[in-house]
Amino acid sequence: MISANFGEQVIHIGDMVRVHSKVVEGEKSRIQVFEGMLISLRGRGENKTFTVRRIGAGGIGVERTWPLNSNSLVKIEVKKKATKVRRSKLYYLRGVSGREAVRV
């Protein structure tokens, strides 16, 4: 199983995660939360990135990619651990809809 360390937290492919990232708008900064399924981890060392996918308004899939050791990342919470994932990339979730897109 592909995994990565974020501080003390270990994240795996297929986990439901909440990514807290810092967003700067003008002079103000705030914390924005993005919750979805971890569908890919790629790279190694300093170049490691991860992609999270969620179903947005109107049933449209939204994906965001972050560098794992970015200064804008505040924390990553694991909401639900993956149970039976046997692939390193879950790109096939882009083609399914409804309950199949969330159940892994």
Please check whether residue 42 lies inside any domain of the structure.
yes
Cα 78 from Cα 36, distance rounded (Å) = 10
Cα 97 from Cα 8, distance rounded (Å) = 33
pTM (predicted TM-score): 0.87
Residue pLDDT tens, the chain, 104 long: 677 777 777 889 999 999 999 999 999 999 999 999 999 999 988 899 999 999 888 888 899 999 988 899 999 999 999 888 898 999 998 888 777 776 66
pLDDT of residue 1: 60
Please check whether residue 17 lies inside any domain of the structure.
yes
Range of the domain at 83: 3-94
Please check whether residue 102 lies inside any domain of the structure.
no
Cα 85 from Cα 7, distance rounded (Å) = 23
